[in-house]
Chains A and B, each alone.
Chain A
């Protein structure tokens, strides 16, 4: 008997014994099963700045997990070795870590939050959901790092237990999503709007890829969309691309292009625009949108100084968007 997975917009029709596009949700005797529940292939402690999430407990550590699999197949994927892997692959072992153990580990290592990251938590939805629910009950915050290619109903349900959604808006055109990611743009935009409406702290990342989505007009359109639909206070991160996976023929994004993207973002009225994956000083710092003074100084993943006082600018008392304690 065929099954249909209604988790993401791909709506895979799965034959008996086969998996969906994500490789980790399979049809076993007419029942949809997840093979990665409780089996992450990566568990590490990262700085929160690595996600990148800049307006949530700066300088804190975050226990970060991923399982193999992804519902997107981005040709530029930086983590393709795990995102495009099958669970059966011998060179990518998993660890047995059910939700209870995961929450216990997060507490043991004194991490205030738990990140579902590296691949995409959408494909290990049940593991993410159960872990996030347990974590929340234990006073741990949940951070999703995702492309948010998910249907509305499961997304809304998951958001009930999520504190932060760091969402990739990979481009602002359907063409890019179709040709580079084998996906579509609309569901991602919808998921972003829903996350913001649910009161979740949202930060957006856009990976700027030379020749594919680095045109000033496209960047302007993306920044405008963020401002109009998520609000000018939403942090937007422009990340530098490095040649990986099926895009080895393109050069890395130059600092000049990223600086240009940042300038466009700010000129469109976004309060917090950052650049990442490159050595930059200004582009990693947080400035007060009111008095323009430096609030948080960063270098790489390190916070050098944090001048915020209870979420307010110490100079002009402007409230700064974020979760600060």
Chain B
């Protein structure tokens, strides 16, 4: 292998590694950007379970505490 060929191959390999690493980093930050963080949640408009009219609340709760 001539010196010129060796340098060309070395350059190609390095570019390949740099391109790969860059693609990987971009993918990771894209993944990161997709994660939304919340403390406060937004109320849903509708309850997913059954809803009953309010009963007589003037009785002690059956639950502990």
A residues contacting B by CB (< 8 A) are 1-7, 13, 25-26, 28, 30-39, 42-47, 50-52, 63-64, 66, 68, 78-79, 82, 86-90, 92-97, 105, 109, 117-118, 125-127, 145, 151, 153-154, 166
Contact = CB atoms under 8 A, between A and B. Distances in A.
A106 to B, nearest CB: 10
Contacts, number: 136
30 contacts: A3-B35, A4-B38, A6-B37, A28-B44, A31-B38, A32-B36, A32-B40, A32-B42, A33-B44, A34-B41, A35-B44, A36-B47, A37-B41, A42-B63, A45-B59, A46-B60, A78-B63, A79-B63, A79-B65, A90-B49, A92-B49, A95-B51, A95-B55, A97-B54, A109-B58, A117-B63, A125-B40, A126-B43, A154-B40, A166-B65
Given A3-B37, A39-B51, A95-B54, A34 B44 contact: yes
B52 A94 contact: yes
A87 B37 CA distance: 23
B47 A39 contact: yes
Contact of B57 (A1, A105, A154): A105
Interface of B: 34-44, 47-55, 57-65
A50 B65 contact: yes
A42 B51 contact: no
B40 A63 contact: no
Given A3-B37, A43-B57, A46-B60, A94 B65 contact: no
Given A89-B49, A94-B51, A44 B57 contact: yes
Contacts of A42: 61, 63
Contacts of B38: 3-7, 31-32
A94 B40 CA distance: 22
A51 B47 contact: no
A199 to B, nearest CB: 23
A123 B48 CA distance: 16
Given A30-B36, A45-B58, 11 more contacts: A4-B35, A31-B42, A50-B61, A66-B63, A89-B49, A92-B49, A93-B49, A95-B54, A118-B64, A153-B39, A154-B40
Contacts of A92: 49-50
A45 B39 contact: no
B63 to A, nearest CB: 4
B42 A33 contact: yes
Contact of A44 (B34, B51, B61): B61
A5 B39 CA distance: 6
A74 to B, nearest CB: 12
Contacts of B65: 50-52, 78-79, 117-118, 145, 166
